[in-house]
Amino acid sequence: MVIGRKKEQSELRSAYDSEYSEFVAVYGRRRVGKTFLIRETFDYKFTFSHAGVANGNKQVQLAAWRQSLEESGMPIKKTPSDWMEAFGLLRTLIKNSRDVRKVIFIDEMPWMDTQGAHFVSALEFFWNAFCSARKDVLLIICGSATSWIINKIFKNHGGLYNRVTYRVYLEPFTLHECEQYSEALHLKLTHYDLLEGYMVMGGIPYYWSLQDKGKSLAGNIDDLFFSQKGKLCNEFNALYHSLFRQPEVYIKIVSLLGNHKNGLTRLEIIEGAKIQDNGSTSRVLEELEQCDFIRRYNNYGKKKNDPIFQLIDNFTLFYFKFMQENKSNDEHFWSNVYNTPIRHSWTGLAFERICYQHVSQIKQALGIAGVMTNTLGFKSNGDKESKGVQIDMLIDRADNVINLCEMKFSQEVFTIDKDYEQQLRHKISRFCELTKTRKAVHLTMVTMYGVEHNAYWNIVQKEVTAEDLFKEI
Q: What is the rounded CA–CA span in Å between residue 236 and residue 347?
A: 20
CA–centroid distance for 31 within its chain: 10
Same-domain pairing of 404 and 305: no
Q: What is the pLDDT of residue 306?
A: 85
Same-domain pairing of 17 and 116: yes
Hey, CA dihedral for 312, 318, 319, 324, is it positive or negative? positive
Q: What is the pLDDT of residue 362?
A: 98
Q: What is the pLDDT of residue 150?
A: 87
Q: Which one of 329, 357, 385 terminates a domain?
A: 357
Q: Which one of 295, 323, 357 terminates a domain?
A: 357
**Amino acid identity for residue 295 in this structure:** R
pTM of structure? 0.93
Number of separate domains in the chain: 3
Same-domain pairing of 242 and 326: yes
Q: What is the rounded CA–CA span in Å between residue 88 and residue 290?
A: 33
Is 317 in contact with 311 (CB distance < 8 Å)? yes
Q: What 3 state SS string does the chain have? A: CCCCCHHHHHHHHHHHHCCCCEEEEEECCCCCCHHHHHHHHCCCCCCEEEECCCCCCHHHHHHHHHHHHHHCCCCCCCCCCCHHHHHHHHHHHHHHCCCCCEEEEEECHHHHCCCCCCHHHHHHHHHHHCHHHCCCEEEEEEECCHHHHHHHHHCCCCCCCCCCCEEEECCCCCHHHHHHHHHHCCCCCCHHHHHHHHHHHCCCHHHHHCCCCCCCHHHHHHHHHHCCCCCCCCHHHHHHHHHCCCHHHHHHHHHHHCCCCCCEEHHHHHHHHCCCCCCHHHHHHHHHHHCCCEEEECECCCCCCCCEEEECCHHHHHHHHHHCCCCCCCCCHHHHCCCCHHHHHHHHHHHHHHHHHCHHHHHHHHCCCCCCEEEEEEEECCCCCCCCEEEEEEEEECCCEEEEEEEECCCCCECCCHHHHHHHHHHHHHHHHHHCCCCEEEEEEEECCCECCCCCHHHCCEEEEHHHHCCCC
Q: What mean pLDDT is reported for the chain? A: 94
- Write the pLDDT tens digit of every residue in 34-58: 999 999 999 999 999 999 998 899 9
Q: What is the pLDDT of residue 466?
A: 96
Hey, CA dihedral for 170, 172, 174, 180, is it positive or negative? positive
Picking from 377, 459, 380, the residue whose alpha carbon sits closest to that of residue 422 is 459
Q: What is the rounded CA–CA span in Å between residue 216 and residue 303?
A: 47
Intra-chain end-to-end CA distance of the chain, in Å: 20
Q: What's the rounded mean pLDDT across residues 418-440?
A: 95
- Write the pLDDT tens digit of every residue in 62-90: 999 999 999 999 999 899 999 999 999 99
**453: phi then psi, degrees, rounded to nearest 5:** -85, 75
Q: What is the pLDDT of residue 366?
A: 97
- Write the pLDDT tens digit of every residue in 107-156: 999 999 999 999 999 999 999 999 999 999 999 999 887 788 988 999 88
Residue 200 has pLDDT above 90, yes or no: yes
In sequence order, the β-bridge partners of residue 380 are 389
Is residue 1 in a domain?
no
Q: What is the pLDDT of residue 147?
A: 80
Residue 25 has pLDDT above 90, yes or no: yes
Is residue 318 in a domain?
yes
Q: What is the pLDDT of residue 327?
A: 64
Q: What is the pLDDT of residue 381?
A: 84
Is residue 195 in a domain?
yes
Q: What is the pLDDT of residue 305?
A: 80
Same-domain pairing of 373 and 341: no
- Write the pLDDT tens digit of every residue in 172-193: 999 999 999 999 999 999 999 9
Give 326 or 392, the one with higher predicted confidence.
Answer: 392
Is 177 in contact with 4 (CB distance < 8 Å)? yes
Picking from 106, 105, 104, 108, the residue whose alpha carbon sits closest to that of residue 30 is 108
Q: What is the pLDDT of residue 346?
A: 93
Same-domain pairing of 380 and 237: no
Same-domain pairing of 38 and 163: yes
pLDDT confidence bin for 408, thresholds 50/70/90 = very high
- Write the pLDDT tens digit of every residue in 305-334: 889 999 999 999 999 999 987 766 789 999
Picking from 401, 413, 324, 416, the residue whose alpha carbon sits closest to that of residue 366 is 401
- CATH number, position 249: 1.10.10
Is residue 111 in a domain?
yes
Same-domain pairing of 391 and 454: yes
- CATH number, position 68: 3.40.50.300
Is 78 in contact with 86 (CB distance < 8 Å)? no
Picking from 113, 392, 150, the residue whose alpha carbon sits closest to that of residue 286 is 150
Return all residues near 270 (Cβ < 8 A) that are at least 6 apart: 277, 281
150, 152, 155, 158: CA torsion to nearest 10: -160
- CATH number, position 410: 3.40.1350
Q: What is the rounded CA–CA span in Å between residue 379 and residue 261?
A: 13
Percent of the chain at pLDDT exceeding 90: 83
Q: What is the pLDDT of residue 469?
A: 98
Is residue 270 in a domain?
yes
Q: What's the rounded mean pLDDT across residues 259-269?
A: 94
Is 62 in contact with 86 (CB distance < 8 Å)? yes
Q: What is the rounded CA–CA span in Å between residue 325 and residue 322?
A: 6
Q: Which one of 332, 357, 382 terminates a domain?
A: 357
Hey, CA dihedral for 462, 300, 296, 270, is it positive or negative? negative
Same-domain pairing of 92 and 150: yes
Is 457 in contact with 451 (CB distance < 8 Å)? yes
Q: What is the residue range of 31's domain?
A: 6-169
Same-domain pairing of 319 and 219: yes
Q: What length does the chain have? A: 473
Percent of the chain at pLDDT exceeding 70: 99
Q: What is the pLDDT of residue 223?
A: 96
Q: What's the rounded mean pLDDT across residues 412-418?
A: 97
Q: What is the rounded CA–CA span in Å between residue 403 and residue 391?
A: 11
Q: What's the rounded mean pLDDT across residues 334-345?
A: 90
Same-domain pairing of 159 and 183: no
